[in-house]
Structure 1
Amino acid sequence: MTIISSTIGFPRIGEKREVKKALESYWKKAIPLEELLAVNNEAEKIAWKLQADAGINLVGLDGTLYDQVLDTIFYLGLAPARFSSLSGYEQYFAMARGVPGIEALDMSKFFDTNYHYLVPELTSSVSPKPDFSILFDKIKRGQDTIGKDKAVPIIIGPNTLVGLAKPADASTPFDHDGAIKALLPAYTQLLQELKGMGVPEAQLHEPILATTDAAKLKAEFTSSYGELSKVGLPINLVTYYDDIGDAYEWAVKLPVQAISLDFLGVPGSALGNETAALIEKHGFPSDKRLGAGVVDGRSVFADGEFPGKLIAALQDKGIKDISVQSSVSLQHLPYNAELETALPKELQSRLAFAKQKVAEIAAAAKASPSKGVSLTSALPPVNDPKEQIEEKLFNRSQEFKTRREAQIQTVEFPTTTIGSFPQTAELRRARLQFKKGQLSEQEYEKVINEYIKYSNDEQERIGLDVFVHGEPERTDMVEYFGVKLEGFAFTENGWVQSYGSRYVRPPIIYGDVSRTGPITVKEFKYAQSLTEKPVKGMLTGPVTILNWSFPRKDLSRSAQAYQLALALREEVDDLQKAGCRVIQVDEPALREGLPLKRARWESYLSWAVRAFRLSTVVADPSTQIVTHLCYSEFADILPAIDGLDADVLTIENSRSGDEMLRALAKYGYSRDIGAGVYDVHSPVVPPVDFIEKKIKTFLDVGLLSGNKKLLWVNPDCGLKTREWSQVLPSLENMVAAAKKLRNGSTATA
C-alpha cells in the first residue's frame, strides 16, 4: 500500500498579509510592479517551502495576485473585447477593478464559500489566445524552491471554468459544450508544455462535480478528459465542497491517474458521510490514486485522530493508493495558529490553521494503520438538538402592505447608502492606539463621533434621504458583533482572503451565543441627534454571522443560527426603543450557505429564513426592516428572499447586467427594492448619465409597477474600501441622477 501526502491549495496572502500591503501600495502607485511581484513571489516561495519541509510529497503551487479564476481567464487569453486596448497586468487588474470607461468583470461567490471570483464572459465562438508564460514562471520558481518531484501546478479545469462563466451577450444562447471543446486545444497545449517541464502531475480542479448539475455533465467530462489524457501527463482530478453524488460512478472511471474527494462536506454537518457511503456502495478503482480529503479545510479546529482513522478505514476497504490531503483548499483558513497568543489557552490547544493542517496531513500519511474501523463510523458525529421557540416569534404582527403605510414615507427614487463609509488611515490608527492603551476610551469615542459628524454633514450636503452613521467603530461586519457576544473568540492574525486585497478575520464560535448588552445603540443615538433625516440602524444578520465565522463542529448550524438570531432580536428591539425607524439587517451570505445539492436546499433555506425572521419580527409595524444581499446568484431562491419578509431589499446590480432586477420583476416581488447603481469595488467615479441609465432600468423591467417611491437608489454595497475622494463625487452624482429623474429631466454628464 502507498500512502502519500498532498496539498490542493494554501493561503496566498503571506503570513502577515505581505501581498495585500504590496498590492494596495501598487494600486496607489507607491511601488512599481516589479516590487509587487517580488513580494508576491517571496510569499509563494515561503508557503511552498513550508509545505515541503512539513513532509508533504506533492505540493500544490497555489498563489494569485487577485483570483485564481481571473488568472485562468488571463492565461487563456479570454479577456472580453472591451479590454482589448490593454495588455499585461494593466489588463489583468482592469478586469478585476475596472478603469474609466471600462466595467470590470462581474463578481460572484465561489460555490458555497465567502471567496469571490471574477466571472468569465464567453461567447458561443470562444477563441482563446493563450499565453502561459506567467504560469510557467511560477512553476519554474516552485521547482527551484522545492524540487521537480514535489511541485504540482494547480489549474481550474475546463468544465468548471465554463460552468462558472456567463454569456458575453445575454441575448445570445450560450453553448457550454461548444465552449469546452473550443478551450480544449489550449488546455492540451498547457499540459504538453507542463509535461516538458517535468512536473509529476497536474491538478485540474473541478469543484463543479460537487453540484447537482454534475450528474448531467457526463458527456462533457468524458469527452474533455478523454482528450486531455492523450497528452500522457498524470492528472489529479480534484473535487471539493461536497460529495460528487450521482456523478461518482462515472467520474471515478475517467481516464485520469487520481481522483480527489471531499470527505467532510459543508461546515458543521455530517454530509461528508456521503463520500464514504459512495465508496462503500460502489468501491474505488484499483488503477487510480484516491485523494482523500480527510483534514478539514473549512474548520479552524484541530482534526485529532479522525484523519488517521478514516485513512485506516479506506485501507480496510482495499484501497491501496491514497494521498492524504485537506477536504478543500486551505486558502479558506488563516495562515498560522502559532501567531495567536492572546486566545484562551484551552482554545489555543484545539486550533489548527493552514500551517497546522499541513502538519496534520503529513502526520496522517505517516500514521500506522489501525484495522477494523468502519468507513462511515469513522466520521465525527454532529449534535443536532431541537430548538424550542414559539411559532409567534417568527411572524410580524401586520402584513407588509398594512405596515408600509406606517413606516417612513419617501420621495420618488429615495436615496441612501448601504452602510459603511471609508475606513481611513486616521481611523485605523486611532483604533490601534485605543487597542494598545495609547488612547483613552473617551479620546477614542471623540474620534468616532467626529467621523460620524463628518459623515452626517456630507450626507446633508449631498442630499441623501436616509442616512447612515458610517460604521467608523467597526473593523468588520461580523467581527464587530462577535466581540460583543458571548460564545465567540477572536484572532489577532486570523485573516482569510475574500477577494483581491480584501481579507476578513472570521471569529470562532466555541460556546453558546448570547448578548450581554446593547451593541449599536450608542452610535445610532449620536448620529440621529445630528439630523432630522432618518438614520439607519445597522446590523449583520444571523445567517451571515454564522457563515462568515468558523462554527462549532459539535452543534448544528441551524441551532447556532437561532442562538445568534435571539441575540440580534434583542438589539433590534433596543434600537427601535431608542427611536430608530429604519433598521438594516444584512444577509449577504444567505445564498452562500446554500448546499451545492438542490435536494438539500429546502432544509437549509427553511432554517436560514426563520433565523432572519426570528431576529427581525420583534420590529413594530412602523419600524422599517431593510436587508442587503450581494455578489451571489439569487434568482433561483426568490421565494426564500420573499419569505424574509423584509420591508426593503437592497441588492448588488451594477456588474450583473440587471439579471436580478428582471428576475424580481418576473417573480412579482412587491416590497421596496434598492438595486445598486454603481460598483463600489471599482475606484472609478460613475458619471451622472451612467447612474441615470441604471435607475431607468428599474422602470424598464417593470419593477413594482413603476412605483417610484418604493424604488430606492443606492450603491452596490458598503463603501468601506473606497476613499472619500471617490465616495463623495460618486454619491453626488447618484443623488443628482435621482433628482433629475424625479423632475423628469435628462442627465447629460
Structure 2
Amino acid sequence: MKKLLPTSTAGSLPKPLWLAQPETLWSPWKLQDEELAQGKHDALRLSLQEQQHAGVDIVSDGEQTRQHFVTTFIEHLNGVDFEKRETVKIRDRYDASVPTVVGAVSRQKPIFVEDAKFLRQQTKQPIKWALPGPMTMIDTLYDAHYKSREKLAWEFAKILNQEAKELEAAGVDIIQFDEPAFNVFFDEVNEWGIATLERAIEGLKCETAVHICYGYGIKANTDWKKTLGSEWRQYEEIFPKLQQSNIDIISLECHNSHVPIELLELIRGKKVMVGAIDVATNDIETPEEVAETLRKALKFVDAENLYPCTNCGMAPLSHDVANAKLNALNAGAEIIRKELSL
C-alpha cells in the first residue's frame, strides 16, 4: 500500500565538514583521489541515514558526490572548456565566470550512474535522482559553438536522456530535472524549454519530475526576490503548458514565498512536490507551519498527488538546521495524514 503524502527533499543536503567546507555553495573538496572517492561514498551513506532518521520517504544521495547541481554534470562532457572562461549573467540576475562551449557537446561515459547504483544498494526505499535541466545548463555556460540557446538545449536534452535511461536501469524510481531557469525565461520555456525537457525524458518508464524554484538562499537570489513584489506569479506563465506535458511531477516553492497558492489549480492532475520548508532561513519551521502549507495546497492538489518537500536544496545550511527542518517536514506531513484518515 502506497504511503499518503510521501516526503522528499528538493535535492542537495549539507556535506560533512571532513568532505567539504560547510554552509558553502561550490565548496572545494578537502580530500583527494582515492580518499575523495571513498569520502563521497561515506558522505552519501551518512546523508541517507540522516534522511531515514528524519522520516524522509523518498530518499536521495543529498548530492554528496557533486560540488554543484549543474556544473558537476557539465564537467564530464566533451565540447566544454573549463579553462576558457567568460562572464555571463546567470538567470538574468548575477554575473558569473563560466566555462565555454567550444565544440559539439557529447557524453563519453555515465556520470552519476555508479553513485546511483551505490545508493540503490543501501536502501529499499524509493530513490530520487536530480539532474540539471537543459535550459538551466545552457544558462550556466558561454556558447561559442552553436551560438543558439535552443540548439544547445536540444543537444543537452539528448545527453540527459542517455544518462536518465542508465539511472533508471540502476534502479532510480524518480528522475528530477532542476530547472530554476523556467522561472525567468518564460517565452523560451513555452517555445522550446518544455519540449527539450520532454526530449530528456523520452522512453523513460520511471517517474519524472521538474523542480522549479526561486533558488538557494544565497544573497543574489534573496535580493532578486525582493524585487518581485508582493505576488510571485512566475509559475502562471509556464504551468498551463507544463500541465499538458509528459512530466509526472512538478516540484515547486510554497512556504514563505509570495507564490499565490491558487496557481496550483493550473497543474491540477499532476503530482506536486509542495515546498513546505524555507531553505533561505535558519529558522526551523514548526510541524504546524508545515501542515498549514500542505492544507492550503490540498485545496488544489488531490491528496494522493501531494508530496511534501523542501523549497530547494539545503547545501548552504548547517547539518543541525537541515536535520531539524527535515524532522519538521515529516511531523507536519504526519499531522495532515491523521487529518485525512479521519
| TM-score for the superposition, normalised by structure 1 | 0.40
The alpha carbon displacement at 1:675 in A equals 1.6
Distance across 2 between alignment mates of 1:423 and 1:693: 30
The alpha carbon displacement at 1:548 in A equals 2.2
Name the counterpart of 1:611.
196
The answer to whether the Cα contact below 8 Å between 2:276 and 2:293 also exists between their aligned partners in 1 is: yes
Is the alpha carbon distance of 1:677 and 1:459 closer, same or farther for their aligned partners in structure 2, counting shifts above 3 Å?
Answer: same
Name the counterpart of 1:576.
168
Name the counterpart of 2:275.
676
Name the counterpart of 2:287.
688
Name the counterpart of 1:663.
263
Name the counterpart of 1:635.
236
**What amino acid maps onto 1:736 in structure 2?**
A
Is the alpha carbon distance of 1:565 and 1:698 closer, same or farther for their aligned partners in structure 2, counting shifts above 3 Å?
Answer: same
Q: Which runs of 5+ in 2 are unaligned?
A: 22-26, 215-231
CA deviations 1:69-118 (Å, max 9, x no partner) are: xxxxxxxxxxxxxxxxxxxxxxxxxxxxxxxxxxxxxxxxxxxxxxxxxx
Name the counterpart of 1:209.
none
Name the counterpart of 1:461.
53
Is the alpha carbon distance of 1:422 and 1:716 closer, same or farther for their aligned partners in structure 2, counting shifts above 3 Å?
Answer: same
Distance across 1 between alignment mates of 2:135 and 2:82: 19
**Local SS of the residue matching 1:691:** helix
The match for 2:123 among 531, 534, 542 is 531
Distance across 1 between alignment mates of 2:151 and 2:101: 12
Structure with greater contact order relative to length (CA < 8 Å, sep ≥ 6): 2
The structure in which a higher percent of residues are strand is: 2
The answer to whether the Cα contact below 8 Å between 2:242 and 2:267 also exists between their aligned partners in 1 is: no
The answer to whether the Cα contact below 8 Å between 2:86 and 2:142 also exists between their aligned partners in 1 is: no
Name the counterpart of 1:417.
9
**What amino acid maps onto 2:280 in structure 1?**
H
CA deviations 1:295-317 (Å, max 9, x no partner) are: xxxxxxxxxxxxxxxxxxxxxxx
Distance across 1 between alignment mates of 2:149 and 2:7: 36
Residue 646, structure 1, aligned to residue 231, structure 2: no
**What amino acid maps onto 2:100 in structure 1?**
I
**What amino acid maps onto 2:300 in structure 1?**
L
| TM-score for the superposition, normalised by structure 2 | 0.85
**What amino acid maps onto 2:195 in structure 1?**
R
Residues 169-208 of structure 1: pairs in structure 2 closer than 5 A: none
The answer to whether the Cα contact below 8 Å between 1:626 and 1:648 also exists between their aligned partners in 2 is: yes
Distance across 2 between alignment mates of 1:472 and 1:492: 27
**What amino acid maps onto 2:310 in structure 1?**
P
The alpha carbon displacement at 1:592 in A equals 2.0
The alpha carbon displacement at 1:669 in A equals 2.2
The answer to whether the Cα contact below 8 Å between 2:41 and 2:65 also exists between their aligned partners in 1 is: no
Q: Answer with 1 or 2: which has the greater Rg.
A: 1
**What amino acid maps onto 1:675 in structure 2?**
V
**What amino acid maps onto 1:474 in structure 2?**
R
The alpha carbon displacement at 1:563 in A equals 0.6
Distance across 1 between alignment mates of 2:181 and 2:2: 29
Name the counterpart of 2:148.
556
Residues 279-678 of structure 1: pairs in structure 2 closer than 5 A: 410-428=2-20, 432-434=29-31, 439-440=32-33, 442-491=34-83, 506-552=98-144, 555-594=147-186, 601=187, 605-620=190-205, 623-631=206-214, 633-659=234-260, 661-665=261-265, 667=266, 669-678=268-277
After TM superposition, the runs of 4+ consecutive aligned structure 1 residues lying more than 6 A away are 492-499
Is the alpha carbon distance of 1:497 and 1:424 closer, same or farther for their aligned partners in structure 2, counting shifts above 3 Å?
Answer: farther
Q: Which runs of 5+ in 1 are unaligned?
A: 1-408, 595-600
CA deviations 1:576-611 (Å, max 9, x no partner) are: 1112121111111124233xxxxxx3x662321111
Instruction: State how many pairs are aligned.
Output: 316
Distance across 1 between alignment mates of 2:103 and 2:305: 41
Alpha carbon RMSD of aligned pairs, Å? Answer: 2.6
